[in-house]
Structure 1
Amino acid sequence: MKRIAIVGGGIAGLTAAYELARLRERSPVQVVLFESSARLGGIVETVREGGFVIECGPDGWVTEKPWARELAEGLGLEGEIVPSNDSQRKTYVLTGDRLVPIPDGMRMMVPKILQNIDSSELFSDQAKLGFHRELERAEELKAAAPDEDESVATFVRRHFGEEVIEKIGSPLLSGVLGGDAEKLSVRAVMAPFVAMEREHGSLIRALQIREKSSQNAIFTSLISGTGALVDRMEAYVPPDWIRLNSSVRSIARDDKGWRVETAHNPEWGLERFDAVLLAAPIDVARTLLQLTDERAAELMAMDASSAVVVGFGFPDASKFSIPPGFGFLVPRGSGSHLLACTFVDQKFPHRVPPGGRLLRAFFGGEAAERMMRCGNDEIAAIARGELARILGPLPEPQVSVVRRWPRSLPLYAVGHLERMAELDGRVRQLPGLWLLGNGYRGVGLPDLIRDARAAARAVMGVSASARQTN
């Protein structure tokens, strides 16, 4: 019987275990899922209290990527799938002491409707002219598209100019990825836009063509929160496969397969496996792989951002007002420690009790690193103060949730795809090893789910075309 170790019980590792549990009906398999903490799911966690559904990590996924939805449907959660309230989709940027809306119809930094740009307060006349000229420069931009990778900032600057980076580009990348637009790889984090440039030159023209046929909501989630994915998968995986509070000290390969050594656990100690799915955070995975392949470990070295997430559930929305929309972004230099705030009850339905209101505040970078040293009450007080400075006085919340996520989001720097291609080549020389998680091929839930299920099928010798359904 094949023995498989999964190192790390975040969403990638748990999804791999779930897929292997499904495939065991075809071929017997013994799996051990090592998780260093007391729970599975990693940063995917939902707190349900007092009628509030508070996401501690991702609150959903990008609709156009199908793999999270497919998993939800396979888990019997099709009745819980809900789209974002896109009729109310509006995002603001803190400008001075005002929340100024990003023009309707924008995807990232690219507008679909130029008339909305013309009437916007967010951009200067010069920036508005730059958007119009981008359409006229389509052939020039197509011809000038570089063969090598570049930063998001360089890419956007070439199309729209500096002001768009400062007012939308940097706040978006900081709020969504916790990263610096000057360092992040455009090919890794904005691949569809790179493809648009190669095909059409003008990103505006490409978006106009592409979205004529698209009526889907941008985001999707579950009524009871993304944590429902974790709950359902954990219930399906055999309990004797799961080892919580079990840190892996080392992995090594010899002619008999893989050796996995656990820390501080004499009962299990050193065990042998035919394959290892390494789904630990990339910092941990890199350390574990160091002795097996030093060059592979070098390729896995990357910066990562930390985050502090604070959720506030208020029982009476009439006690304070917020503008319509999904939330706001905070540019650097604004004087606020916040990166972003989500108006949760306006973004998704079924998140609050009748009449309630739910806000989520996000902190990253140096501010998050400092705040992690504070207690929960102090963090909550800082978050309330920052929100009140922007939104006005806030009442006492009924529910407060604080989560710290140190170095939880790897940052894909320029050249990331080339490094990952070399890393993939090295891993192929280590039979029985797969690397899973958000440090390699995407950071969103759909990307992690896609890779984990594919790896589980590969280790069991099942082709993608032979996928089972529940």
Structure 2
Amino acid sequence: MKRVAIVGGGVAGLAAAYELARLARNGASLQVVLFEASTRLGGIIETVHEGGFVIECGPDAWVTEKPWARELAEELGLGNEVMPSNDATRKTYVLVDKKLQAMPDGMRMMVPVDLDAMDASDMFSAAAKLAYHEEMGRAEELREAAPDQDESVAEFVRRHFGDEVLAKIGAPLLSGVFGGDVTKLSVRAVMAPFVAMERERGSLIGALQASVAAKRHSVFTTLRSGMGTLVDRMIAAIPEDWVRLLAEVRFISYGEEGWLVGTARGVERFDAVMMAAPVDVACSLLSPVDPEVAPLMEMDASSAVVAAFGFPDAAKFPVPPGFGFLVPPGSDSLLLAGTFVDQKFEDRVPQGGRLVRAFFGGKAAERLMRCGNDETAAVARMELARILGPLPEPQVTVVRRWPRSLPQYAVGHLERMKKLDERVSALDGLWLLGNGYHGVGVPDLVRDARVAARRMARKSEGLAEVAEL
């Protein structure tokens, strides 16, 4: 029987354990221990149900066009729970000169599919609108000038559209997803489809207009009862004796005897280790195993703080129609973003209610990490009020802190990951999972974890490689 250690019980670790449990039920000879340092499983996915409000403490959805989270949800019997965002009324605002300005309709990231809608927008100056129109005419020039090496998101966006578009849309959008600095983020790692468009067609606008992917569909998908249900169903499918909470892994070693994993309870031997801990924890645990791994795993990470407020009467707290707003770096606000949850998704509030989430990242989040819940909530309400107007007293308040939860894929990330994968493959039985390597979204984590689990199980039985999900 093959003994497998899974280090970390976030989404990636849980998905790996779920897949191994499924394989074990189908006859695979596996004994698994899932080590989780905290008191709960699921990582930053957590849903609070209170007073008729459905409040997400971490990610509130997944990107629809990536199928792996939806496939897992359906496999877990949650097909009827799958719910799209309210894209018929989708609108996103950006804080410009202390006022919320609506992004033009038909935008994919910072790229307009509908130039007429862009022209009608008050968000951009005449010079920025001209830059958008000229981008299509520069298609061949842009295609030929596409660099062979990686570059920052900022450099990529500037080449196509200029500084204004970068500042007003590019930076806030990418900061909202990664909590990072667009002058450091790798465009090949975080905007790979757009890099491919440039190589093929030059003009990003032209590529999107010609693409089936640009056709309207719901951008986001979630579960009606909340993202936490996905975690709960995976947990229910994993044998109870596989899971150890409050079991911090203190060291890992590798040698002729296989893998040794040490906790406060002692040292155990395993045939394989699936490392699903946060990347900085994984780095410290694996550095003694292979010192050359450490520099490849070292990366900046941004913290996040979420404060959610549920109000019983939406009429007493009017907000603009749409999904929410983004705050560009350098604005006179501590916020990174705000979400009008009851307008983004159905069934998130009691009848007539309102639910708003405030999101902090970067230096503001680091400062709030040291504050109590009441102080954090007070800061969040003050910042929201400066943008949206006075807030009534909330019925429900939820605050969560996620330290170093958003790894920063810096320029050259894909090249480092290729070298890291080569080092890891030389260590028989080691697998790296989580958001520090090949994608930060829930679908990416689910896909990578399940593929790794299948490969590991097949390898242990000497079978051919399993097809990827």
TM-score, L = length of structure 2: 0.97
| CA deviations over 1:412-440 (Å, ceiling 9, x no partner) | 00000000000000001001000000000
The alignment partner of 1:4 has SS state of strand
Q: Would you say 1:402 and 2:360 are equivalent positions?
A: no
The equivalences for 1:153-302 within 5 A come to: 153-211=154-212, 214-262=215-263, 264-265=264-265, 269-302=266-299
What CA distance in whole angstroms lies between the structure 2 residues aligned with 1:123 and 1:51?
A: 40
The alignment partner of 2:400 has SS state of strand
The alignment partner of 1:194 has SS state of helix
Report the CA distance between 1:213 and its aligned residue. 6.9
What CA distance in whole angstroms lies between the structure 2 residues aligned with 1:134 and 1:30?
A: 56
What CA distance in whole angstroms lies between the structure 2 residues aligned with 1:211 and 1:343?
A: 29
* Aligned length, in residue pairs: 463
Aligned position for 1:144: 145
Report the CA distance between 1:174 and its aligned residue. 1.3
Q: Would you say 1:127 and 2:128 are equivalent positions?
A: yes
- In angstroms, what is the RMSD of aligned CA positions? 1.1
Q: Which runs of 5+ in 2 are unaligned?
A: none
Percentage identity across paired residues of the two chains = 69
Q: Would you say 1:51 and 2:52 are equivalent positions?
A: yes
The runs of at least 4 aligned residues of structure 1 exceeding 4 Å deviation read none
Aligned position for 1:10: 10
The alignment partner of 1:248 has SS state of coil
Q: Would you say 1:435 and 2:439 are equivalent positions?
A: no
Aligned position for 2:466: 464
Matched AA of 1:254: G
What CA distance in whole angstroms lies between the structure 2 residues aligned with 1:314 and 1:98?
A: 23
Q: Would you say 1:21 and 2:18 are equivalent positions?
A: no
What CA distance in whole angstroms lies between the structure 2 residues aligned with 1:214 and 1:304?
A: 34
What CA distance in whole angstroms lies between the structure 2 residues aligned with 1:320 and 1:371?
A: 25
Aligned position for 1:317: 314
What CA distance in whole angstroms lies between the structure 2 residues aligned with 1:404 and 1:466?
A: 34
What CA distance in whole angstroms lies between the structure 2 residues aligned with 1:123 and 1:466?
A: 43
Whether the aligned pair in 1 keeps the contact of 2:113 and 2:214 (CA below 8 Å) is no
Report the CA distance between 1:456 and its aligned residue. 0.7
Matched AA of 1:221: T
Report the CA distance between 1:466 and its aligned residue. 9.0
> Residue 444 of structure 1 is aligned with which of 441, 445, 449?
441
The alignment partner of 1:253 has SS state of strand
**Cα distance 1:286–1:383, how it changes in 2: closer, same or farther (>3 A)?**
same
Aligned position for 1:422: 419
Whether the aligned pair in 1 keeps the contact of 2:208 and 2:214 (CA below 8 Å) is no
| CA deviations over 1:243-297 (Å, ceiling 9, x no partner) | 00000011111112100001x32xxx00000000000000000000011111111
What CA distance in whole angstroms lies between the structure 2 residues aligned with 1:209 and 1:73?
A: 31
The alignment partner of 2:261 has SS state of strand
Matched AA of 1:195: A
What CA distance in whole angstroms lies between the structure 2 residues aligned with 1:211 and 1:367?
A: 39
TM-score, L = length of structure 1: 0.97
Whether the aligned pair in 1 keeps the contact of 2:83 and 2:224 (CA below 8 Å) is yes
**Cα distance 1:274–1:210, how it changes in 2: closer, same or farther (>3 A)?**
same
Report the CA distance between 1:172 and its aligned residue. 1.0
Q: Would you say 1:87 and 2:59 are equivalent positions?
A: no
Report the CA distance between 1:378 and its aligned residue. 0.7
Q: Which runs of 5+ in 1 are unaligned?
A: none
Report the CA distance between 1:215 and its aligned residue. 3.6
| CA deviations over 1:344-377 (Å, ceiling 9, x no partner) | 1111111111111100000111111111111101
What CA distance in whole angstroms lies between the structure 1 residues aligned with 2:410 and 2:347?
A: 37
What CA distance in whole angstroms lies between the structure 1 residues aligned with 2:391 and 2:177?
A: 25
> Residue 359 of structure 2 is aligned with which of 350, 359, 362?
362
The alignment partner of 1:367 has SS state of helix
| CA deviations over 1:195-236 (Å, ceiling 9, x no partner) | 000111000011111147734211100001111111001111
